[in-house]
């Protein structure tokens, strides 16, 4: 790993620019979930404890380079103050002068960076303006690292730079799961569509020993084998691609696991009447909404013999019970093995994290990535510009 951490930096008396992700949900001016803010606390406190001044830089929403008052970060200040247990000085417009007045040990938050068109353009000029405000740059926003923006990429080339504690934890967890994992490695990929996860599937086939395919995308793989999936969600124009993934897996020695039994229903709604049938026996007027118990038992067996698990995508339509059963059972098994010290388990993806939280299994996982797009791109084997810039 070619990037520095806070351990490598002298923070005493330094103004430290910290890129954070505090793009939290807000309703009626209230932050409804402050998880993202809580996660930046260790880095900010460490900068303060070691004698520095913390200047937080972040985006909020998609103002597209214009000042949109409803997307001002000022509304997040109370929530940041609460999580940090510190006063936060909000700095709007011309940042320089006001920042200079703040003593070491203070925390400042700059206005939404995306109010400036230079941010998303990775503009050198805007990056230099930001860089001129501080002595050091710390990137603690892994979830924004897949975008080359002025505050994630260009700035890192202008100041001494390092990863913050959250970025460090995320990169280390991903490295453990996919970079240099303990084998055998099992990947579970579910969710709605093959088309959104093609690159993910091809990369995982190369790097894992077992690939469990579930959710709507498994229907496309079943269809590729000539199986009639009735009214199931399936991408019939992707069946050739699915077949290619299966043959690639064969040639590199990755075992693909498709559902052997499925839960079908005639309506897409909670509590819909349902039955379990063999994977090749979906009635013409029904749709597959979950994996069946035999499939789950097979998957549990694979988990039992694996050292590392990577998971993205629910195994069924988990939002509408009882079609959350396979996802919950797999999550419980992964949690149990992790607690027993027999499995390293890493999961990510918006719906996946929601499903694991609801199932109650999330806490037992080795690492849950909340990074969304950046997590997926990392899993796809892509270089993230925000991480690469720290290595440069
Ligand atoms: P993530 O956000 O974790 O990357 P996705 O967005 O790819 O996951 O997939 C989640 C969605 O897939 C959920 O809305 C879920 O209802 C849907 N899904 C899973 N299995 C099925 C299925 N068999 N039929 C229809 N939708 C499904
Ligand atoms: Mg999703």
User: Tens digit of pLDDT for each residue in 151-187?
Assistant: 999 999 999 999 999 999 999 999 999 888 999 999 9
215 and 316 Cβ atoms separated by less than 8 Å: yes
CB atoms within 10 A of CB 382: 13
Question: Ligand 2 mean position to 354 CA, how many Å?
Answer: 9
Measured from the Cα of 192, ligand 1's closest atom is 12
User: Tens digit of pLDDT for each residue in 196-254?
Assistant: 998 999 999 999 999 999 999 999 999 999 999 999 999 999 999 999 999 999 999 99
Please pick, among 36, 53, 147, 207, the residue that the annotation labels catalytic. Answer: 36
DSSP bridge pairs for 310? 187, 346
Among 204, 351, 362, which residue has the most ligand 1 atoms within 8 Å of its CB, making it the best to mutate?
A: 351
Closest ligand by atom to 354 CA: 1
CB-ligand 1 contact for 351 (6 Å cutoff): yes
Q: Decide if 193 is catalytic.
A: yes
Q: Decide if 216 is catalytic.
A: no
Task: State residue 1's pLDDT score.
Answer: 62
d(CA 174, CA 378): 8
Which two structure tokens, joined as six digits, stand for 260? 């052997």
User: Tens digit of pLDDT for each residue in 28-45?
Assistant: 989 999 989 999 999 999
Query: Would you say residue 260 has pLDDT above 70?
Result: yes
Question: Ligand 1 mean position to 310 CA, how many Å?
Answer: 17
CA angle 172, 150, 25 (to 5 degrees): 70
Q: 108 by DSSP, 3-state: which? A: strand
Query: Would you say residue 314 has pLDDT above 70?
Result: yes
CB-ligand 1 contact for 216 (6 Å cutoff): yes
pLDDT, average across residues 124-146: 97
Task: State residue 98's pLDDT score.
Answer: 82
User: Tens digit of pLDDT for each residue in 341-388?
Assistant: 999 999 999 999 999 999 999 999 999 998 889 999 999 999 999 999
Which two structure tokens, joined as six digits, stand for 9? 């930096």
User: Tens digit of pLDDT for each residue in 66-122?
Assistant: 999 999 999 999 999 999 999 999 998 766 668 888 999 999 999 999 999 999 999
Closest ligand by atom to 373 CA: 1
pLDDT band of residue 316 (cuts 50, 70, 90) is: very high
Measured from the Cα of 196, ligand 1's closest atom is 7
Question: Ligand 1 mean position to 86 CA, how many Å?
Answer: 40
CB-ligand 1 contact for 268 (6 Å cutoff): no
CB-ligand 1 contact for 373 (6 Å cutoff): no
Tracing tokens 């419980």 back to the chain, one arrives at 332
For residue 8, what are the CA distances in angstroms to 40, 45, 138?
Answer: 19, 17, 11
CB-ligand 1 contact for 345 (6 Å cutoff): no
Q: Decide if 350 is catalytic.
A: yes
pLDDT, average across residues 319-340: 98
CB-ligand 1 contact for 259 (6 Å cutoff): no
Among 187, 195, 216, which residue has the most ligand 1 atoms within 8 Å of its CB, making it the best to mutate?
A: 216
Closest ligand by atom to 353 CA: 1
CB-ligand 1 contact for 316 (6 Å cutoff): yes
Interacting residues of 359 by C-beta distance below 8 A, sequence separation 6+: 324, 327, 328, 331, 332
CB-ligand 1 contact for 313 (6 Å cutoff): yes
pTM score: 0.90
């Amino acid at each position: 790993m070619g990037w520095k951490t806070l351990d490598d930096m002298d923070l005493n008396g330094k103004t430290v620019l910290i890129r954070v992700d505090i793009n939290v949900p807000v309703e009626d001016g209230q932050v409804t979930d402050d998880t993202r803010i809580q996660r930046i606390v260790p880095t900010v406190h460490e900068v303060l404890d070691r004698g520095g001044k913390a200047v937080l830089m972040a985006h909020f929403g998609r103002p597209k380079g214009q000042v949109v008052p409803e997307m001002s970060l000022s509304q997040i200040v109370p929530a940041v103050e609460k999580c940090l247990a510190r006063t936060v000085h909000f700095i709007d417009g011309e940042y320089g002068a006001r920042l200079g007045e703040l003593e070491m040990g203070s925390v400042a938050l700059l206005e939404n960076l995306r109010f400036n068109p230079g941010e998303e353009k990775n503009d050198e000029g805007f990056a230099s303006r930001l860089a001129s405000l501080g002595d050091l740059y710390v990137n603690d926003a892994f979830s924004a690292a897949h975008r080359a923006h002025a505050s994630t990429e260009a700035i890192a080339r202008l100041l001494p730079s390092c990863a913050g504690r959250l970025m460090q934890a995320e990169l280390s967890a991903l490295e453990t799961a996919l970079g240099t994992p303990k084998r055998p490695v099992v990947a579970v990929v579910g969710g709605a569509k093959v088309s959104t996860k093609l690159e993910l599937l091809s990369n995982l086939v190369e790097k894992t020993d077992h690939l469990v395919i579930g959710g709507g995308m498994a229907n496309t793989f079943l269809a590729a084998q000539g199986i009639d999936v009735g009214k199931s969600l399936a991408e019939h124009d992707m069946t050739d691609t699915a077949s290619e993934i299966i043959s690639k897996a064969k040639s590199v020695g990755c075992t693909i696991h498709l559902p052997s039994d499925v839960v079908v229903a005639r309506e897409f709604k909670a509590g819909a009447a349902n039955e379990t049938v063999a994977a090749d026996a979906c009635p013409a007027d029904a749709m597959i909404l979950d994996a069946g118990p035999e499939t789950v038992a097979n998957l549990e067996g694979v988990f039992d013999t694996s050292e590392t698990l990577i998971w993205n995508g629910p195994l069924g339509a988990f939002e509408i019970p009882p079609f959350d059963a396979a996802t919950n059972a797999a999550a419980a098994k992964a949690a149990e093995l992790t607690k027993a010290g027999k499995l390293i388990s890493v999961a990510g993806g918006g719906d996946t994290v929601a499903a694991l939280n609801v199932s109650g299994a999330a806490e037992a996982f080795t690492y849950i990535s909340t990074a969304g797009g950046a997590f997926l791109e990392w899993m796809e084997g892509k270089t993230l510009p925000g991480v690469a810039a720290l290595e440069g």
